[in-house]
Amino acid sequence: MDDLGDLRAKYLTAVNESADEASLEALRVAAVGKKGEVALKMRELGKMTPEERQVAGPALNALKDEINAALAAKKVALADAALNARLETEWLDVTLPARGRPAGTIHPISQVTEEVTAIFADMGFAVAEGPQIETDFYNFDALNIPPHHPARQEFDTFYMHRDEADERPPHVLRTHTSPVQIRAMEKTGAPIRVIAPGRVYRSDYDITHTPMFHQVEGLAIGKDISMANLKWVLEEFVRAFFEVENVELRFRASHFPFTEPSAEVDIQCSWDNGQLKVGEGDDWMEILGSGMVHPKVLEAAGVDPNEYQGFAFGVGIDRIAMLKYGIPDLRAFFDSDLRWLRHYGFSALDMPNIHGGLSK
């Protein structure tokens, strides 16, 4: 039975040295498969004498079992080795610090728009929207600014191109967010309480003016809404926005065709050494126009002025952003200078809300 000893040594060594499942399977077929070497030996049992068979039979079975066991053990060992190799390459140190602050930041205009929206939402104002390319009707006529009214000149309006033969009035880039008052009232009627933040355009350029800037319109119409409500809402807003108990506001009598009476509101500030500060010094910066909505405006929007009245205001978002965050030159807002954006930008994860704090 020496050849059994040879077979055993041959296969156990081969199993031990095999490097993958495919070669293990080939060994299994060659050794203990139906036509494998062990099976061939078993066939020879028939030619043996009973005595010989009594020795050779159990020996062959034992060899078969032994080779099978070696194959199974090697299979497990190969699987373990494969798993370990994978774990080595997929290794991750969970104690490493998180990645740094992402390079992108929220622009101060977006931040301030969110802050303003949060404050007015808290006072029950919904958000309304309108197009930036407006018809002359919504931008002017419906707001009680008929053609040839001098107020049209004051706005430094950008007119869209129109063929000479075309007699319709040209569209304009909206000069203020006030046309959204009309659109919102047409849509939902009165009573109504909305704000409308967005871009507006005027042909003007200096340290506090850019041809594109941002306003937020406010509109509250009801049965008994008065100028007193307007004053309260604006004072609440300014206090919440600048996160201070006391800010001096100056209500100046003014004139807008779409409000009567009208008031412009200035906020106290100082400009020492190019540093802009709110609530101190003896400079004033105009931040908004406001007033009681003119009956003709209500009428143009389909609201009965004998039944309803209310106030409207338009705040310069860029202006109040400059004041709150001490940004001296408005023009820098729109230069897209990365150094400026990194300095004045806000983390994308700090969304302003009334309870968590507006700005951190």
Q: Residues interacting with ligand PHE, by CB under 6 A?
A: 176, 178, 256, 259, 289-291, 312-314
Which amino acid type is present at position 288? Answer: L
Instruction: Give least dist CB 302 to ligand PHE, A.
Output: 19
Residues 6+ apart with CB under 8 A from 76: none
Judged by CB, which is closer to ligand PHE: 138, or 256? 256
169 prior amide bond cis, ω within 30: no
Judged by CB, which is closer to ligand PHE: 105, or 113? 113
Instruction: Give least dist CB 306 to ligand PHE, A.
Output: 21
Residues 6+ apart with CB under 8 A from 247: 238, 239, 267, 268, 278, 279
Judged by CB, which is closer to ligand PHE: 314, or 352? 314
Q: What is the DSSP string of 91-140?
A: ---TTSPPP---S--B-HHHHHHHHHHHHHHHTTPEE----SEE-HHHHT
Q: How far is the CA of 306 from the CAs of 63, 227, 294, in angstroms?
A: 108, 17, 12
Which amino acid type is present at position 203? Answer: S
Judged by CB, which is closer to ligand PHE: 219, or 358? 219
Residues 6+ apart with CB under 8 A from 219: 128, 181, 184, 185, 192, 193, 194, 195, 196, 293, 310, 311, 312
Instruction: Give least dist CB 236 to ligand PHE, A.
Output: 18
Judged by CB, which is closer to ligand PHE: 18, or 290? 290
Instruction: Give least dist CB 170 to ligand PHE, A.
Output: 20
Judged by CB, which is closer to ligand PHE: 140, or 346? 140
**Phi, psi torsion values for 119, nearest 5 degrees:** -65, -45
Judged by CB, which is closer to ligand PHE: 33, or 295? 295
Instruction: Give least dist CB 206 to ligand PHE, A.
Output: 17
Instruction: Give least dist CB 241 to ligand PHE, A.
Output: 17
CA distance 336 to 321: 16
Nearest to 42 by CA among 30, 24, 57: 57
Instruction: Give least dist CB 165 to ligand PHE, A.
Output: 33
191 prior amide bond cis, ω within 30: yes
Judged by CB, which is closer to ligand PHE: 180, or 276? 180
Which amino acid type is present at position 82? Answer: A
Instruction: Give least dist CB 143 to ligand PHE, A.
Output: 8
Judged by CB, which is closer to ligand PHE: 256, or 346? 256
Nearest to 235 by CA among 217, 252, 247: 247
Decide: 276 and 223 in contact? Cβ < 8 Å.
no
Instruction: Give least dist CB 193 to ligand PHE, A.
Output: 14
